[in-house]
Structure 1
Amino acid sequence: MSNPNDYTILWMCALTAEYVAAQTFLDEEHPKPAAGTISISDTNAYTLGSISGHKVVLAVLPKGEYGVGSAASVITNILRSFANIRIGLMIGIGGGAPTKANDIRLGDVVVSSPKDGHGGVYHYDLGKESQDMGFKQTGFLDQPPTVVRTAVSALESKHIRKGNHIVENIEDALERNPRLKRKGYACPAPESDRLYKADVVHPISEESCDAFCGTKPNKLIARQPRDDEDDNPAIHYGLIASGNKVIKDAILRDKLAQEQGVLCFEMEAAGIMNRFPCLVVRGICDYSDSHKNKAWQGYAAMTAAAYTKELLMEIPSEGLEHEGRLAVAIERRE
């Protein structure tokens, strides 16, 4: 059986699709911990395994629970059960905020990037009305450990020179897990990636965008297809907004993208980062507008997981014991 004290990396997921994608990229899956080595009060679900010599704990939030509060509530049990965790990662899907400066498309990856003294994640509070919004920086210990930030820089440099291997790694993973192709984890048809103009609003109904919003050019923002010299999916580094509600408003999305430099939106990272510092990686599954659907969620989860596996390959598997234990960060916070 596995010894919980051997594991040094925590990979957090909020949704089942994210958890499935994470499991797919393990080099090896390990047995469950021996009976009695984890507190009976710990009701979290875990998968244990290894990636590039690292022993990794995959954890998922309870079914039907997501958001800042839910993410924060599971952390204490995790770090009691796996007391030697040194690195925290929050990996999953998010809504993109494309602009002229940032050509973000479905399936792309956004990585939280420290800037101006913060760790790349802002916390927002969205009121009853979309514009009733307080936008504030997350607080405590907001930067990931140096070893993680160094690995991010090294991987970014490698990708600039050689390109990323996300597509190839996903294809290999799907070959090993062919069921997932039929479960929505393969790349959808490129023509289904449509960015509507901000004033084109989908009604509150179950009617599809194809049926109601249509595909006429006057409703869409024109974008050139990516060619062989472009990274596809592309990886973007910058600000991720994390808050209490899903953003479904293209006008608000564009406002925050222009004024704050937000690249994507999600709902769990602030709850984690208020407890301990972590890196946040998001695969883009929609455009944070009214035209939401689930067609790209599985593939976006795979692109985020594939990037994370490449990142862990940049972190030396030896020497993590010199990094501070995340459980200590919580004790200091409390």
Structure 2
Amino acid sequence: MEFHRDYHIAWILSSIDHHVVAIRFFDEIFHRYNSTSSGIAFTLGRVGHHNVVAVSIACNTSQSFAGDIVDSLLREFPSIRAAFLVSADGTVPRNGNVRVGDVVVGLESSMKSGVVYFDHQETTNQKRFFMTSQSQHLPGAVLTAANNLKSQCGRNDWLRRLEQDWPARIPRPTAFRGGSGELDDIQLVAPEEIDKADDTSLELTLNYEFRRGFPLQRQLKAFSGMIASSEQMLKDPPLIDSIAASNGILCFETAAAKIKSRPFMVVSGVTSCSGDT
């Protein structure tokens, strides 16, 4: 369709459940449909001034991705220039600063893609990190957006948008205010900036608490750094901790490795810590 050429940004979700949650952040939804040939669900909408298409499998099955979701996306929307893969199965090492509920963005301090792919079985058998490939670049539009978010003006604009335009059906965040009364900065925390001896010294990425009758024990954070992806999650907690420490990996996830084409930024929500039962 000709109007599909008006869409340049895509959100790739790891399940239809996450798809439903993600589109609640759209300011306006124009159209929703499923592709019968590929088994993929599409939602077309607007976020701010941008037309965005959200895409995922159309139903939850044992197979996370039916075919190559990126190829299907680009066939339907050939004008896509920036794509973000949002996964929600991140696992982090026990001794790191990233915690359950935090977010890790696959972006190195050099502004290169911070995602490595590894073989789960070989890594388990050999008790060492068996890397198969690494994403080398990100689209210019994605890097521009990341740079903008790191700037003072970009952080302030983003926080104002969260406060003012958050959809009414999502619990509204409130900015944490320090002793000066000013809004704390939104910041992506790079691995070299993490003080492992004092987690409280970190500047918070997004300080908020949901109004559900109780305060959060710990404010959630977002980090930028290395993400390791494999088709199956490692099950050996000491191995996870060792690989993370020796390779500078912030979290492990499985969604990115299940997609053949990889021209996207990976954003991983952390749902478990190594050793959790």
Quick check: TM above 0.5? Answer: yes
1:56 aligned to 48, 52, 56, which one?
A: 52
Say which structure is richer in strand: 2
The aligned residue for residue 189 of structure 1 is none
- What SS does structure 2 have at the residue aligned with 1:130? helix
Task: Say whether 1:239 aligns with 2:223.
Answer: no
Q: Distance in 2 between matches of 1:159 and 1:98?
A: 33
Contact 2:94–2:274 (CA under 8 A) maintained in structure 1? no
When normalised by structure 2's length, the TM-score is 0.71
Q: Distance in 2 between matches of 1:261 and 1:19?
A: 30
Task: Say whether 1:88 aligns with 2:80.
Answer: no
- Per the TM alignment, residue 163 of structure 1 is displaced from its structure 2 partner at its CA by 11
C-alpha change, 1:108 and 1:166, in structure 2 (3 Å) is: farther
- Per the TM alignment, residue 169 of structure 1 is displaced from its structure 2 partner at its CA by 5.3
C-alpha change, 1:30 and 1:117, in structure 2 (3 Å) is: closer
The aligned residue for residue 321 of structure 1 is none
Say which structure is richer in helix: 1
Work out the number of aligned pairs and report it. 240
Q: Greater relative contact order: 1 or 2 (C-alpha under 8 angstroms, separation 6 or more)?
A: 1
Contact 2:122–2:130 (CA under 8 A) maintained in structure 1? no
In the TM superposition, 1:185-334 aligns within 5 A as 230-231=204-205, 232-272=219-259, 274-291=260-277
Task: Say whether 1:78 aligns with 2:83.
Answer: no
Contact 1:11–1:56 (CA under 8 A) maintained in structure 2? yes
Q: Distance in 2 between matches of 1:156 and 1:30?
A: 31
- In structure 2, runs of 5+ residues without a counterpart are 174-196, 206-218
- Per the TM alignment, residue 280 of structure 1 is displaced from its structure 2 partner at its CA by 0.7
One-letter code aligned to 2:46: S
Q: Distance in 1 between matches of 2:154 and 2:53?
A: 30
Q: Percent identity?
A: 28
Q: Distance in 1 between matches of 2:118 and 2:68?
A: 19
- Per the TM alignment, residue 144 of structure 1 is displaced from its structure 2 partner at its CA by 1.2
Task: Say whether 1:47 aligns with 2:43.
Answer: yes
- Per the TM alignment, residue 43 of structure 1 is displaced from its structure 2 partner at its CA by 2.9
- Per the TM alignment, residue 284 of structure 1 is displaced from its structure 2 partner at its CA by 1.4
Q: Distance in 2 between matches of 1:39 and 1:242?
A: 27
When normalised by structure 1's length, the TM-score is 0.60
- Per the TM alignment, residue 11 of structure 1 is displaced from its structure 2 partner at its CA by 0.7
- Per the TM alignment, residue 266 of structure 1 is displaced from its structure 2 partner at its CA by 1.0
- Per-residue CA deviation, residues 71-102 of structure 1 (Å, 9 max, x unaligned), is 762222221111111111101313242466x5
C-alpha change, 1:107 and 1:157, in structure 2 (3 Å) is: farther
Q: Distance in 1 between matches of 2:39 and 2:233?
A: 27
Task: Say whether 1:105 aligns with 2:91.
Answer: no
- Per-residue CA deviation, residues 225-248 of structure 1 (Å, 9 max, x unaligned), is 859964432111110011021233
One-letter code aligned to 1:10: A
- What SS does structure 1 have at the residue aligned with 2:124? coil
The aligned residue for residue 135 of structure 1 is 130
One-letter code aligned to 2:71: T
Q: Distance in 1 between matches of 2:112 and 2:204?
A: 30
